[in-house]
Chain A
Amino acid sequence: MAATGKQTRSRGSRESMFKVEGLTKVYHTGELDIHALSGVDLTLYEGELAVLLGPSGSGKSTLLNILGGLDTATSGQAWFRGDEITALSERELTQFRRNHVGFVFQFYNLIPSLSARENVALVTEISTSPMAPDEALGLVGLDHRLDHFPAQLSGGEQQRVAIARAIAKRPEVLLCDEPTGALDSKTGVRVLEALTSVNEELGTTTAIITHNAAIKDIAHRVFYFSDGRITKTDVNKRRVTPDKVHW
């Protein structure tokens, strides 16, 4: 597995973080075969912020899960910094997630029995060169809610703890599946601000899944998904800051 690159690189260098070729995923459910991915090709570059846009069932989550080592492909290949992740064993996938990937989900998935700080510390405990939990929470603007338990935090705050937890180990990639899906617009914007600032300050390659088209303007590139394929790729000539986004 490649060494962990922490410093911000210029996007001009165009070094690939993820490379995907002919990736397919078929779910066998009873008599029906569901083609979640039908031959996806894609490259994500270091430091890039990508938005994967499409209706539910279009295959974007499946792709993200395979890239993040949560799921395996039926055929095709995917590489992370030149290492083929589609060839990794279960144990190696766990190590891959542990060392390189940060996840953010729609339903936060915080550990309810741990406070905000402890939720972050849970990850830093098993990382090689993490940032301090307080620092990670500071980055998402939660330095005043350190000792609160998830039940004592609002949805937006919980999601920002989840982001802090995801970035505290300084992952090379941050994979976000509908991070604003359960939030209102105002709170959602704060979460997006946290994500873009992490992307900019730490240079973390970030992929955000959404079916909310308004969000696409904050990305460097936008991938449009439909029926398990990427139908279109846009490069945003002019990105906007999250505070300009509304839905």
Chain B
Amino acid sequence: MLDRKLLRDMKRLWAQALAIALVMAAGVATLILGVGAYRSLDETRSAYYERYNFADIFATVKRAPEGLKQRILEIPGVSAAETRIVKFALLDIEDMAEPATGMAMSIPDYGQVHLNRRYLRSGRFPEPGSAREVTVNENFALAHGFAIGSTFSAILNGNKRTLNIVGIALSPEFIYAVGPGGLIPDPRRFGIMWMSENALAAIFDLEGAFNSVSLKLLRKTDQADVIRQLDDILEPYGGTGAYGREDQLSHAFLDAELKGLAALSRVTPPIFLLVSAFLINMTLSRLIALEREQIGLLKAIGYRPLTIGMHYIKLILIISAAGILIGSVAGTWLGQGLTILYADFFRFPFLIFRRNPDLYVIAAAISGAAALAGGVRAVYHALTLPPAVAMSPPAPAQYAHLGIERLAALKVYSHLTLMALRHTLRWPVRSGLTILGISLSGAVLIMALFTLDSIEFMIDTIFFQSDRQDATLNFNDERPIRIMQAVQQLPGVLTAEPYRTVAVRIRNGHLSRKLAITGKRPDTDLSRVLDLDLQPVTLPETGLVLTQKVAQILKARRGDLVWVEVLEGRRGLKQVPVTEVSQSYLGLSVFMNLDALNKMLEEGPLVSGAHISYDKARTGALYKAIKETPEISGIAIQSASLGKFRETVARTIHMMTAVYIGLSLIIAFGVIYNSARIQLSERAREFASLRVLGFTRGEVSQVLLTELGLLVALAIPLGSVIGYWFAWAVIRGFENDLYRMPFIIEGGTYATASFIVLASAAISAAIVRRRIDRLDMVRALKTRE
């Protein structure tokens, strides 16, 4: 019999129940979405690494003899080593005017490849010794519409060659393929070209030699120890310092993304589960208050408290089941979408969708537990009420004077407003939790929307304040500074500023970090170094300018002396003061005055590349000239980087933002609608009285709307504060060596979040208002409260 009542209750309460179930579903969905996508991607990555033998340690050298490989293999703990030739080259591709950058990578002509094996999507690998055949990475092929048989030109060691695509492949080394100077993968402008080792060796005069080596370690091997020994072996041959997977660009980016995803799935679901627990508590408390007499009656006629308790528990379970079901379906669906989105952005030969039942069980258990926790107090109350007490009406609610009543005489507010104020303060905990619930929806919105502010700020800082060059040219080797005259004379070039990068290890006490020092002219105007207030810094005559992140890692402050171990050229160890700390959102950069850097290296005035600005009208001629300049091995065009950056942001961030806006609407609507419905139910009699007294529908609604308005008005600033805090946590969560987002929340973001919360409040209010209009005065007044 009670089950029939349950069904009828559900029919009556369906809108409120659905609102709660949706909030819960949002929690379940974000959990399954986040954890599911994380697990799928993590699993995919692990399987990919394992099947294709992704190396553990990577190192580059200037030129080392092949015979060194045996010594490397003898390092204890090394299970495999693979040497190869890796060189950058400018590409001349028919469908684009500007040159692209290619990374030529050798594959042995004979014998098996052990490490960093490629997955051949189609075609084959180049014939041994062929200097015309090339296998390219899939994204590059897709970006240009290349198929087997397509051709493009590459300037390899100064000679332009036409290359014939014979295969399309993927590699665990380039899941996230960023070209030199690029921020994010741009497959149109950066491609990987696998070529015959013999052919590359011949082209780059590296016969019997290699300039790159990767190692695989045995389990439980001390990586740092192997790196140290490898560095010792490679040092005489121009080794620039070996590094582990964690510093391998593709792996590091992917790892940062996955960590972000995992962080997100730890933060958001609890918010939704908390809110749904509160909503269940609020709704069930009200339902039980309304059914007080029925409960008393049921007890009086002999129903056991446990049976009655179960009746309400079942109600919670039905709502939870609906929430879990909707959440699981939505979470699975969104999770797959997100996984595919990620997989499309990164590049995997296969995708493993992990659909572990444990995740669903955990999600269901957590949500169910949260719901029961929310309802248990209300149910307990129903169980402990003695039948005689339950069957008599509850004592009228006690109210208190607010101390502002005198203002009524001044007509500052009406008695309707007073009703709203007193009622809000009568239930401080509930009002407080409602405010908190609404504010969480605002906070989630701010968390979702502020990323765009941060990214815009970051774009402005990077592209318009700091790196204002039109393009950056990389030379294929260190070149004497006089090359700048040639660069200056390239068609259309307006300004050219040289830079030099040097691989170093910086040590401060026991802390050390391998990175690169970039030397620039002190008066540089294109690629500027910005201080912490984002003002341009004139690079001092001596000393290092550390970016904030590097300073943090090394615990170094201005004025500290740090050790710089040069990892290339003549090498050497120098003690250098830190003269400035600068701002930077990308990578780990350290800057130095170019002259001071060259002086420290004792190598004379050398440069690694140039930043240029040019006349856009002469772009064609400039690109043509660059393609014919053998010394230039790579080019990064700022406008292209910016375009790609924005495109990627649009694809990923905008989707996440949309999802979060949807989720926060669910919270806002769930909390506001439920709270309005409960108020209406509690106060139907009061409202009916007001209607009888001759108050219009509008005036009666005013009481409810004032109260909701008050709660929302208090929730909005609180939401802004919590949102600020959430945003800060997100910034911190996403901070890593590769990138850091500036913590920027524009006023417009607060305004938009507030507007969305207000709009969902207005919609909830409008729905409840319709119920006030349909209020049956006579019936409401005849019932005993």
Contact = CB atoms under 8 A, between A and B. Distances in A.
Given A71-B778, A109-B685, A111-B686, A98 B695 contact: yes
Interface string A130-151: 0000000000000000010111
B202 to A, nearest CB: 92
Given A65-B778, A113-B422, A114-B418, A99 B694 contact: yes
A79 to B, nearest CB: 19
B418 A149 contact: no
Majority secondary structure of chain B interface residues (helix, strand, loop or mixed):
helix
Interface string B754-782: 00000000000000000000000110011
Nearest to B685: A109
Interface stretch (A4-12, A47-55, A119-127): A119-127
A220 interface: no
Contacts of A109: 685, 688-689, 692, 781
Interface string A90-118: 01001111110101010101111111001
A112 B686 contact: yes
Interface stretch (B313-321, B373-381, B392-400, B506-514): B392-400
A70 interface: yes
Given A94-B691, A98-B694, A113-B423, A107 B785 contact: yes
Given A65-B778, A122-B415, A97 B396 contact: no
Given A112-B396, A112-B686, A125-B415, A95 B784 contact: no
Interface in B661-709: 685-686, 688-697, 699
A147 B401 contact: yes
A122 B693 contact: yes
Contact of B692 (A70, A115, A149, A152): A70
A151 B694 contact: no
Nearest to A118: B415
Interface residues on B, range: 35 or more
A151 B691 contact: no
Interface in B175-213: none
B95 to A, nearest CB: 71
A150 B398 CA distance: 8
A107 B396 contact: no
Contacts of B422: 113-114
Contact of A121 (B397, B400, B408, B691): B408
Contacts of A96: 694
A71 B692 CA distance: 11
A99 B694 CA distance: 8
Contacts of B784: 107
Contacts of A97: 692-694
B49 to A, nearest CB: 66
B399 A113 contact: yes
Given A105-B781, A107-B785, A125-B414, A151 B693 contact: no
- The winner among B688, B697, B782, B784 for most chain A CB atoms within 10 A is B782
B573 interface: no
Contacts of A149: 398-400
B426 interface: yes
Nearest to A151: B396
Contacts of A94: 691, 694-697
Interface string B408-432: 1000001110110011001000000
A112 B426 CA distance: 11
Contacts of B781: 105, 107, 109
Contact of B399 (A107, A112, A121): A112
A121 B401 CA distance: 15
A91 B686 CA distance: 19
B295 to A, nearest CB: 21
Contact of B777 (A70, A110, A121, A152): A70
Interface residues on A, range: 20 to 34
Contacts of A151: 395-399
A123 B691 CA distance: 11
- The winner among B398, B685, B781 for most chain A CB atoms within 10 A is B781
B694 A95 contact: yes
A233 B371 CA distance: 62
- The winner among B396, B398, B408, B691 for most chain A CB atoms within 10 A is B396
Nearest to A127: B694
Contacts of A105: 781
Contacts of A147: 401
B397 A112 contact: yes
Nearest to A97: B694
Given A107-B781, A112-B396, A151-B395, A98 B693 contact: yes
Contacts of A68: 692
B18 to A, nearest CB: 28
Interface string B458-476: 0000000000000000000
Interface string A41-80: 0000000000000000000000001001011000000000
B683 to A, nearest CB: 9
Contacts of B395: 151
Contacts of A112: 396-397, 399, 686
A111 B689 contact: yes
B699 to A, nearest CB: 8
B401 A115 contact: yes
Contact of A114 (B415, B685, B695): B415
B399 to A, nearest CB: 5
Interface in A206-231: none
Contacts of B782: 107
B212 to A, nearest CB: 78
Nearest to A166: B693
B396 to A, nearest CB: 4
A115 B406 CA distance: 13
Interface in A15-47: none
B687 to A, nearest CB: 10
B356 to A, nearest CB: 52
Contacts of B415: 114, 118, 121-122, 125
Nearest to A107: B784
B408 A123 contact: no
Interface in B31-51: none
B695 A126 contact: yes
A151 to B, nearest CB: 4
A74 to B, nearest CB: 15
Contacts of A113: 397, 399, 418-419, 422-423, 426, 686
B693 A123 contact: yes
Contacts of A103: 692-693
A11 B686 CA distance: 36
A101 to B, nearest CB: 8
A98 B690 CA distance: 10
Contacts of A115: 401
A126 B401 CA distance: 22
B694 A126 contact: yes
B691 A150 contact: no
B419 A114 contact: yes
B419 to A, nearest CB: 5
A215 B388 CA distance: 32
Contacts of B400: 149
A55 to B, nearest CB: 16
Nearest to A122: B415
A122 B703 CA distance: 12
Contacts of A99: 694
28 contacts: A70-B778, A71-B778, A91-B696, A94-B691, A94-B696, A96-B694, A98-B695, A99-B694, A101-B694, A103-B692, A107-B785, A109-B685, A109-B688, A109-B781, A111-B690, A113-B686, A114-B415, A114-B419, A118-B408, A121-B415, A122-B415, A122-B693, A123-B693, A123-B694, A125-B415, A149-B400, A151-B398, A151-B399
Given A112-B396, A113-B397, 4 more contacts: A118-B418, A122-B416, A122-B690, A126-B694
For the complex of A and B, 6 pairs with smallest distance between CB atoms: A98-B694, A113-B422, A151-B396, A97-B694, A122-B415, A109-B689
